[in-house]
Amino acid sequence: MRLIGGMNFLSDTTAPAHPAILDALTHANQGFASSYGADPVSAGVKTQLCEIFETDLEVVFTVSGTASNALALSVLCPPDAMVLCHDEAHIHRDERGAPEFFTRGAKLLPLAGSHAKIAPEALSDALKQWPSDFVHATPPAVLSLSQLNESGCAYTLDELESLIGLAKARDLNIHMDGARFSNALVSLGCTPAEMTWKAGVDILSLGATKNGAMASEAVILFPSARDRLPQLLANQKRAGLMLPKMRYVSAQMAAWLKDDLWLDLARTANAAAKRLSEGLSAVDGAELVHPTHGNEVFIRLEDALAARLREAGAGFYSWPDGSARFVASWCTTDADISALLDAAG
Amino acid sequence: MRLIGGMNFLSDTTAPAHPAILDALTHANQGFASSYGADPVSAGVKTQLCEIFETDLEVVFTVSGTASNALALSVLCPPDAMVLCHDEAHIHRDERGAPEFFTRGAKLLPLAGSHAKIAPEALSDALKQWPSDFVHATPPAVLSLSQLNESGCAYTLDELESLIGLAKARDLNIHMDGARFSNALVSLGCTPAEMTWKAGVDILSLGATKNGAMASEAVILFPSARDRLPQLLANQKRAGLMLPKMRYVSAQMAAWLKDDLWLDLARTANAAAKRLSEGLSAVDGAELVHPTHGNEVFIRLEDALAARLREAGAGFYSWPDGSARFVASWCTTDADISALLDAAG
Amino acid sequence: MRLIGGMNFLSDTTAPAHPAILDALTHANQGFASSYGADPVSAGVKTQLCEIFETDLEVVFTVSGTASNALALSVLCPPDAMVLCHDEAHIHRDERGAPEFFTRGAKLLPLAGSHAKIAPEALSDALKQWPSDFVHATPPAVLSLSQLNESGCAYTLDELESLIGLAKARDLNIHMDGARFSNALVSLGCTPAEMTWKAGVDILSLGATKNGAMASEAVILFPSARDRLPQLLANQKRAGLMLPKMRYVSAQMAAWLKDDLWLDLARTANAAAKRLSEGLSAVDGAELVHPTHGNEVFIRLEDALAARLREAGAGFYSWPDGSARFVASWCTTDADISALLDAAG
Amino acid sequence: MRLIGGMNFLSDTTAPAHPAILDALTHANQGFASSYGADPVSAGVKTQLCEIFETDLEVVFTVSGTASNALALSVLCPPDAMVLCHDEAHIHRDERGAPEFFTRGAKLLPLAGSHAKIAPEALSDALKQWPSDFVHATPPAVLSLSQLNESGCAYTLDELESLIGLAKARDLNIHMDGARFSNALVSLGCTPAEMTWKAGVDILSLGATKNGAMASEAVILFPSARDRLPQLLANQKRAGLMLPKMRYVSAQMAAWLKDDLWLDLARTANAAAKRLSEGLSAVDGAELVHPTHGNEVFIRLEDALAARLREAGAGFYSWPDGSARFVASWCTTDADISALLDAAG
């Protein structure tokens, strides 16, 4: 175990929880409370979310981003239909087929596009190739977008409008994988509503775990999807994800959302990534491969440089595309970045 | 800690977490740690469990008893096979078909027996009726036993031997639902090993949540099932149950197991239930319907008596069989029991 | 046609096809025809069925009773819900979990009742025990009735009314397994409509295979279930059951239904069974265990008698309940029965 | 319904059955026979296939190519693993997700390559991107190749060797979709063994339906896959595909294989397609888009030409890629081709 202050850029999931999260658990640990999400703490978070998203939404809490995505898709995509997503989407690449499991056999169709953003022509072409009403073909039912996406990029509101417009013209449901939603939000500088339901998103997987919580995620049903709540609850139970003492999951999110903590933490992480991205890409032998919109930096490093960084104690992953991935988190400090840049020298 | 609602006997899942659990979270919240269970806290719990169970086991952590049971069955029962369980088993009655989901379509065959214990002749009869090698019939693959069971009773070691002997003679795998394992253990006064792998159990769902944790459960693979670990991990991931920051789940169990806390808490709860059971069944208009082996009391109450208790503020559930269920927990106090008995008086 | 093994009472599935079926195949084998059921032969059978059942139904053709039952249940029962059926129902005992597979994980709840008829109190009790709106419990969604049932008995119209009434009061869908529908129909002497949609049946599995066809079965959607046709077709395709040259399946059914052939064949088989039942149960050492309503006879035979029959060349199965099952078919002759009774003599 | 002799090039599934198939049904319709595939006719076909394929194989009969493919994949690919196939593969595009259903949630990964042949670099790249032992990623388990493929092309033996070599180096299982196996076989002029198990194929879907049968397909397990037979039989039963009177399915295949009928019919169809391909592509306004290896011709037609052909009564489909697809069958005559070419003329 490494202390805060090291050059650990492996993943925001290796970071500890913010102290406010722990305080919230202590606070929630008072006496008896109804089980399975029927407690006042959970109800309070729903109220917070309705205010933050400026609409009358429903929410179900989970404990992993994979669970959130899979549950969301389970109520948006029939077993004999199809989810369209980017070829590098987390739901396609990194969830061991959780969407296929929860939808009971739906297909994920991988689409192309640079910087892990679905190209509109790729979406448009797929929709042409896959009809909705031909009994032999698996019909498209959902468009899933990651915000931040798997290359650390945020779709602009215009890009969302374009893609979602194409999808809605074919009556697809829209899912947003927001494991790093807060990082994208502060990057775009828009409102939560603008980045979701106002853009046509039906269900959002909202993640707090990567940005300061222990294990707290939410599946948010916007008004267009509110009637799917009973099925979502049944699927949550059936998946072993309806925790008996749910208050400890929702309490984390309550603290995370309170007084804009979530946004502050995201700004801290994004700023650290920005400094890392700019500093490191200025070094000889380093080349940025994707724009740095949030808290992730993808950069191609010459072998000598990569070795130098690792020897200095920096932790980062070699990415399948040949780049190195550095992830900043809420607890990344200026000193961490400075140490890395010094080592890159 | 202030305990709201002193006479809350609704469920052990409505109780708060023990302070030691919170302390453990604070302690685990130091710096960076590897994700998805590859952290030293999780490794430490495995060591603890190996010692406690006196064998070389494997463990996977989850966050609900339903998740544990379903994951366990997912590696013990093929999709086209069958789990034998009591008609009132939690896996059959109270998990919205999670076993069917995780096994991808296996059948649960409900068996009869008083006090929620499978009767040996019911098991024996079922095994006669359902062949193992007839392509048209769903073959039995697993025997699942709840310890404590759904009537609050513990199978004796002899009873376990008898049932498991019948099942093993047909090469069935043995699963134990131990959501209230600690309560059964201190009730029988045997060792954890005697109640599990020495009796033939292959996989145990071990629950801490109902006895003092926030959300901490373990699927324990005894040596006979250790080779199922890779599939179990894949299924855990696929189910969204492989938490990114798993250290916070395992830390709870570490604290729970440390210095026999789990046994102490179980003894407290069982003793409270015993006093409640004896006290209340002595009252006119009350009749105990199952022996009180652990922390649950099932008692038939005349309407007037039930009403009197509710008016006094007691919380308990009307059970489907017509009885009232009172559940004591680690935080039930003598005063709570006294208040209840006074109200019954 | 030469009938090898005159005393073959093993199963009506061991019998050959009626000559009219072969003629129909020859007749259908003229030139090109649209694939996948969009051919005029298939359309013609739909017209026949609408007339015979006196209503505006939809029909999908399959090639086995198991396929029909599983497809029917796949559009009547959600994955997280439950089918209520008799403990000895074919869907529960003899289909290797096909209903669980096609429904993607639904539960089958076995109910008691003598002569393989669900007892009204067993149904009523199950409905009390299993709520419809409790997220933790698997809700009942379908009542499945076999007509003839697995003991060779037919529910009377009154019995159907009673059971279906209970089920409909809880908004269950009604499925009828009619693998031997024609045998039940001529036994009751009512109309096809009376035995199905007028009694509340939503979907019928209608089998011709056991009564003279090669492989021809139909899933019939009555008006209450007609809107499920698109999903049924999708499921049929997804299950590999939408045959490219469907005309050869529907042609069999066209011939089978034409000029009451199906009823004539059923009457022949039932009459043979009746004579066998009466004749054999009059023999010393034989005891009828279920009434003989159709073409199946269940009779307990003393060992010596059973041995004598087998030595004489009679083919029949030892049934799990200890009885011997004799099945008559459309091609069972008076001579066959006489030979059997002589051997029993 | 159109008579033989029209210009019906819609699909080989619209063609009638060859007279020998009908004769075989009549011949099989003698007396009683064991159910579910345990009949002597079915056993005889196994013997034929062992001789034809020069090895000790196992066979299971089905009634559609989709069923064969899905069953084959169900025993080759675990639910949490992946099938690699061409982007235009029938299993991916035209089976409504049957492989996903039968595998209970496996993923199909579409690969690129011209003329519907998987490009070796596409396969090689996919294998690099998708590890076999990373718990978060869906591991590749099967390579599925269509022979003929969806562009009417046959892989050469060298091409098979190259692709299968890459796959076997990663321990993948090899499935061949042989819905038009006979057309490919006579096109390559190799032996059945060379095109399958000698090249590394584990399971073959062998189709007779498109080449003269009514509904007769086989799933063939070569020695490397023989141990999967019990699971295949269980899956066949569970899918409603184990027909009670299986003799009528196997009888078709017996006649089809006898005296090289299958090869003769394939040669007829291929020759007709060849003449059509050469004749039509010589016409102004027509451009062949794929080589014509078997009985399918894909050709781009100027609108006026297409209209002229349709007006003359020719039946063909507009293909998603903008071409027109003409399919010849065993019953396509020289006169049919001449009429088409005259109309094009």
Pairing of strands B317-318, B140-146: unpaired
Rounded to a whole number of angstroms, the distance from the CA of C221 to the nearest CA of chain A is 18
Q: Which residues of D touch C251 (CB under 8 A)?
A: none
* pLDDT, position C252: 98
Go through chain D and tell me how many residues it has.
345
* pLDDT, position A3: 42
Cα–Cα dist A29/C145, whole Å: 51
Domains and CATH numbers, chain D: 19-260 (3.40.640.10), 261-344 (3.90.1150.10)
* pLDDT, position C5: 53
* pLDDT, position A194: 98
Cα–Cα dist C152/C291, whole Å: 8
Q: Which residues of B touch C104 (CB under 8 A)?
A: 105
Of D111, D88, D108, the C-alpha closest to D98 is D108
Residue B29's pLDDT band (boundaries 50, 70, 90)?
Answer: very high
Kindly tell me the sign of the dihedral angle through the C-alpha atoms of D56, D62, D68, D72. Answer: negative
pTM over 0.90: yes
Tokens of C119: 């007892």
**C168 Cβ neighbours under 8 A, 6+ residues apart:** C174, C200
Q: What 3-state DSSP class applies to C55?
A: coil
Residue keyed to tokens 């969604």? C141
Chain CA centroid to CA D45, Å: 19
Residue D142 above 50 pLDDT?
yes
Cα–Cα dist C177/B305, whole Å: 49
What average pLDDT does this structure show over C204-209? 98
Cβ of C64 within 8 Å of Cβ of D29? The answer is no
Over the stretch C129-182, which tens digit does the pLDDT of each residue have?
Answer: 999 999 999 999 999 999 999 999 999 999 999 999 999 999 999 999 999 999
What average pLDDT does this structure show over C265-290? 97
D229: part of which helix (H) or strand (E)? helix D229-238
The minimal CB distance from C80 to the residues B96, B104, B107 is found for: B96
To test the contact with chain A by mutation, choose from C238, C241, C243, C246 the residue with the greatest count of A C-beta atoms within 10 A, namely: C238
* pLDDT, position C136: 97
Over the stretch A238-274, which tens digit does the pLDDT of each residue have?
Answer: 999 999 999 999 999 999 999 999 999 999 999 999 9
CB D296 within 8 A of CB D323: no
* pLDDT, position D5: 54
Cα–Cα dist B49/B51, whole Å: 5
Residue A2's pLDDT band (boundaries 50, 70, 90)?
Answer: very low
What average pLDDT does this structure show over D175-203? 98
Residue keyed to tokens 């003989």? C292
Contacts by residues B296-303 (CB-CB < 8 Å, ≥ 24 positions apart): B296/B148, B296/B151, B296/B152, B296/B180, B296/B325, B296/B326, B296/B327, B296/B328, B297/B152, B297/B273, B297/B325, B297/B326, B297/B327, B297/B328, B298/B151, B298/B152, B298/B323, B298/B324, B298/B325, B299/B323, B299/B324, B299/B326, B300/B324
Q: Which residues of A touch D138 (CB under 8 A)?
A: 96-97
Tokens of D37: 């595939």
Cα–Cα dist C297/C291, whole Å: 8
The minimal CB distance from D80 to the residues B135, B136, B234 is found for: B234
- Per-position DSSP letters for B155-173, written without gaps between them: --HHHHHHHHHHHHTTT-E
Tokens of A22: 């722990």
Residue A139's pLDDT band (boundaries 50, 70, 90)?
Answer: very high
Residue B227 above 90 pLDDT?
yes
CB D81 within 8 A of CB D242: no
What average pLDDT does this structure show over A215-220? 98
Residue B80 above 70 pLDDT?
yes
* pLDDT, position B3: 42
Over the stretch B275-310, which tens digit does the pLDDT of each residue have?
Answer: 999 999 999 999 999 999 999 999 999 999 999 999
Q: Which residue of C has its CA nearest to B132?
A: C96
Mean pLDDT of the residues in chain D: 96
Q: Which residues of B touch A26 (CB under 8 A)?
A: 22
Cβ of C100 within 8 Å of Cβ of B106? The answer is yes
* pLDDT, position A6: 76
CB C148 within 8 A of CB C183: yes
CB A180 within 8 A of CB A148: yes
What subunits make at least 3 CB pairs under 8 angstroms with B? A, C, D
To test the contact with chain A by mutation, choose from D69, D107, D134 the residue with the greatest count of A C-beta atoms within 10 A, namely: D107
Tokens of D247: 């003799």
Q: Which residue of A has its CA nearest to B34?
A: A14
Cα–Cα dist C88/C118, whole Å: 10
* pLDDT, position C6: 75
Residue D1's pLDDT band (boundaries 50, 70, 90)?
Answer: very low
Residue B6's pLDDT band (boundaries 50, 70, 90)?
Answer: confident
Q: Which residues of A touch C238 (CB under 8 A)?
A: 80
Tokens of A123: 């979406």
Residue A124 above 60 pLDDT?
yes
The minimal CB distance from A233 to the residues C135, C237, C242 is found for: C135
Over the stretch D147-169, which tens digit does the pLDDT of each residue have?
Answer: 999 999 999 999 999 999 999 99
Residue C73's pLDDT band (boundaries 50, 70, 90)?
Answer: very high
Tokens of A277: 């991205």
Cα–Cα dist C177/C173, whole Å: 13
Report the 10 Å Cβ neighbour count for A307. 11
* pLDDT, position B216: 98
Rounded to a whole number of angstroms, the distance from the CA of C314 to the nearest CA of chain A is 47
Cα–Cα dist A57/D306, whole Å: 54
User: C325 forms bridges with which residues in the sheet?
Assistant: C298, C317
- Please confirm whether the linkage preceding A148 is cis (ω < 30° from 0): yes
Rounded to a whole number of angstroms, the distance from the CA of C85 to the nearest CA of chain B is 13
Tokens of B190: 């045997």
Over the stretch D194-237, which tens digit does the pLDDT of each residue have?
Answer: 999 999 999 999 999 999 999 999 999 999 999 999 999 999 99
Residue B334's pLDDT band (boundaries 50, 70, 90)?
Answer: very high
The chain D residues in contact with chain B (CB within 8 A) are: 36, 79-80, 104-105, 135-136, 233-235, 237-238, 242
What average pLDDT does this structure show over B17-30? 96
Cβ of A16 within 8 Å of Cβ of B30? The answer is yes
CB B329 within 8 A of CB B295: yes
What average pLDDT does this structure show over B240-265? 98
What average pLDDT does this structure show over A132-145? 97
User: In which order are the strands placed within the sheet that holds C286-288?
Assistant: C286-288, C296-301, C324-327, C317-318
Residue B128 above 60 pLDDT?
yes
The minimal CB distance from C136 to the residues A136, A235, A237 is found for: A237
Q: What letter does residue D329 receive in the DSSP assignment?
A: -
Over the stretch C212-240, which tens digit does the pLDDT of each residue have?
Answer: 999 999 999 999 999 999 999 999 999 99
Rounded to a whole number of angstroms, the distance from the CA of B20 to the nearest CA of chain C is 30
Over the stretch D32-41, which tens digit does the pLDDT of each residue have?
Answer: 999 999 999 9
Over the stretch B143-195, which tens digit does the pLDDT of each residue have?
Answer: 999 999 999 999 999 999 999 999 999 999 999 999 999 999 999 999 999 99
Q: Which residues of B touch D80 (CB under 8 A)?
A: 234-235, 238
Cβ of D105 within 8 Å of Cβ of B105? The answer is no
Q: pLDDT higher for B345 or A57?
A: A57
How far from each other are the two terminal CA atoms of chain A, in whole angstroms?
27
Residue A5 above 60 pLDDT?
no
Rounded to a whole number of angstroms, the distance from the CA of D138 to the nearest CA of chain C is 21
Rounded to a whole number of angstroms, the distance from the CA of C131 to the nearest CA of chain B is 10
* pLDDT, position B4: 46
What interface predicted TM-score (ipTM) does this complex get? 0.96
Burial class (CB in 10 A: 0-12, 13-18, 19+), A334: exposed
Q: ∠ CA(C28), CA(C30), CA(C34), 5° rounding?
A: 80
Residue A1 above 80 pLDDT?
no
Q: Which residues of C touch A80 (CB under 8 A)?
A: 234-235, 238
Cβ of A100 within 8 Å of Cβ of D106? The answer is yes
* pLDDT, position C345: 84
